[in-house]
Structure 1
Amino acid sequence: MSNEPLMGNSTLYSTYKENQRFRETSSQNITAILPAYNEEVSIGSIVLLTKLYADNVIVVDDGSTDLTADIARKAGAEVVSHGANRGKAEAIKTGFTAAADLGADIIVTMDSDGQHNPADIPNLVAPIIKGNAEMVNGSRYLNYPGKNSPVYCRAGQTMQDTTVKMNFNLKITDMQSGFRAFAASTKGIFRFSGKKTAIENEMLADAGRSGIRITEIEIGAHTIPEAHSRNPAKYIMGALRAITEDVDANKPLYFYSVPGFALATCGFYMGFKFLEAFFLGSASLNFEHTFLMVFLALAGAYMTLRGIIAHSMAGALRQTETV
């Protein structure tokens, strides 16, 4: 990339020179992964800017029907294409494999729509280079918790943060962040399935279970214009759905067994009190009452058993994947 456009802006030129010094003093191979689906408008500039801060830039073209792959390739990225759209989880999995083939020491994941600033990469990878972490989460809310964001956005973010703390025992302030850095040695701990929950959440769950060191750094993020027009009700419902999926996938005992045990207890208690009253002659057989207590007992027992089985199967699956 020519220095000429940078020379016209002292701030950009200063940033460029600082990055050059960073790259000269770091011997780590930094490879950035950009999953992309129909991002022809932004992908070229993102690749060019990212190349200033990374040794390699890999664009995983996830079945795009536009010129995303061609533009990324012309901008200097290594392009890996999926024949059809497989989803973000598969795109990141492909990117991690390609990064390992290129000898990456540190892998950075970024969104390709322009909301992440590649100039944050040096700060993002610094804890890994210094040996203080194996995973770094870029947070938009670490020191600036979105005070100017709409109330419904702050409410949704707070709910999801609470879920992360409960599910993974992690103090993460931006669980949906796609801007992260990983030591290449962590590749084997991630499932990259994205089946029951968003890939960002799944990777946090895998990282939390593995016991690797995780830290956060503050990042800047450009707000995509479409985000301002989203429906508050749909946003809250989406946040609740994400929370439900996370708890279902990662804490089935909480999701099924706890409420199930409560329902079963109510059902059995109602049955006990009814039988007590019936034999004492102070109560007669009532269909609605009988149906309710039987329903509560059976539903509660089913949910309790399902939670125990799901918890056991998840533990066995994790042990199998580790082996």
Structure 2
Amino acid sequence: MPWEFFKEGHAASYNVTIILPAYNEEVSIGSVVLLSRKYADRVIVVDDGSSDRTAEIAASAGAEVVVHSLNMGKGMAFKTGFAAAEGADIIVTMDSDGQHNPADIPRLVAPILQGEADMVNGSRYLTGHATDTPAYRRIGQTILDKATVMNSGIQITDSQSGFRAFAASTKDLFRFNAQGMAIESEMLADAGRNGLRVKEVPIGVRYDVDGSTEHPLRHGLTVLLNIFKDMEFNKPLYYFTLPGFLFVGIGLYMGLGFLRTFYLGGSLNFGPTVLMILLTLVGTFMSFTGIMLHSIACLSTHLK
């Protein structure tokens, strides 16, 4: 949706607040704030324990600045920002390193203004695989997308996007427990758990700016482990029952092989036999555990 959507007065009665979590972003934060102010009523910068002039420059550019004395992670920065966004009708989150283009804000906000969504995800891949995305990023992104879809139940093409819009009515539904960059997947899981209407719109992104200093492989594994940990309570059938069925299947397959060997006059080896029994027992236990936790979760949801 173009900027003209705002200019025609459709958003005149709505307060749009932008939240920018920032950690040592003195190089980019000023320009990001200035550009963002063209599309918002308020810009809130959460300086997450920066050791440079991020807070000073953000304030000079016209942002409201909230400072964490220590670096507490992106999840806590979002929590602080959402709490500070009192009076907002729509909350927009963006990265503060200049990767996102504030001119895309009207496109993200439009589905909420039109009553089509409660949360809008800006996607780099909605129209296909972006050719300018580094190959190693896209491979890792695909894995994280699939895991996030399993956990959240929301069909999404860019689970790690930090460029999103939220109706203000959703601001108290998010846990903000995840450390680091896993917050994006956690918020999608919360959206799925609470039945939010989530829509994706295409956005652009720059990779020629100074982004995260964390190693991509370590970052990806950390996010993936957080998703699996969340599945323990959010999707117990995936976390327990599915692997349990796999273990039982392997155990039964081994058992059939042992029976065939025994029938043909062969002898059973102690080690493989014990392994077969353990796989079958553990798999059965995990399967029933997942089913029971799933039933409890469904009952809890129904009672709510």
Instruction: Compute the TM-score of the two structures, normalised by the length of structure 1.
Output: 0.78
The residue type paired with residue 267 of structure 2 is S
> Aligned-pair distance for 1:49?
1.3
- State how far apart, in whole Å, the 1-side matches of 2:11 and 2:193 are: 33
Residues 312, 42 of structure 1: alpha-carbon distance in 2 compared, 3 angstrom cutoff: farther
Counterpart in the other structure of 2:25: 39
Counterpart in the other structure of 1:284: 267
- State how far apart, in whole Å, the 2-side matches of 1:230 and 1:65 are: 17
| Aligned counterparts, 1:158-197, within 5 A | 158-194=142-178
The residue type paired with residue 19 of structure 2 is I
Match of 2:201 among 212, 217, 222: 217
> Aligned-pair distance for 1:175?
1.0
- State how far apart, in whole Å, the 2-side matches of 1:104 and 1:131 are: 16
> Aligned-pair distance for 1:107?
0.4
| Bigger Cα Rg | 1
Match of 1:294 among 251, 265, 277: 277
- How much identity, in percent, do the aligned residues show? 54
Describe the superposition over 1:213-257 as per-residue Cα deviations: whole angstroms up to 9, x where unpaired: 211211121214457x998xx54x754664454244233322332
- Structure 2 stretches lacking a partner, 5+ long: none
> Aligned-pair distance for 1:196?
10
- State how far apart, in whole Å, the 1-side matches of 2:113 and 2:258 are: 67
- State how far apart, in whole Å, the 1-side matches of 2:298 and 2:68 are: 32
| Aligned counterparts, 1:35-74, within 5 A | 35-74=21-60
- Structure 1 stretches lacking a partner, 5+ long: 1-14
Structure 2 residue 66 is matched with structure 1 residue 80? yes
Residues 249, 311 of structure 1: alpha-carbon distance in 2 compared, 3 angstrom cutoff: farther
| Aligned counterparts, 1:92-131, within 5 A | 92-100=78-86, 103-131=87-115
Contact 1:31 1:56 (8 Å CA) reproduced:
yes
Residues 152, 184 of structure 1: alpha-carbon distance in 2 compared, 3 angstrom cutoff: same
Residues 292, 196 of structure 1: alpha-carbon distance in 2 compared, 3 angstrom cutoff: farther
Task: Give the count of matched residue pairs.
Answer: 300
- State how far apart, in whole Å, the 1-side matches of 2:209 and 2:248 are: 49
- State how far apart, in whole Å, the 2-side matches of 1:309 and 1:224 are: 49
Contact 2:145 2:156 (8 Å CA) reproduced:
yes
Q: If each structure's helix is expressed as a fraction of its own residues, which one has the higher value?
A: 1
Instruction: Compute the TM-score of the two structures, normalised by the length of structure 2.
Output: 0.83
RMSD, aligned α-carbons: 3.5
User: After the TM superposition, which parts of structure 1 deviate over 6 Å for at least 4 consecutive aligned residues?
Assistant: 312-316
Secondary structure of the 1:198 match is helix
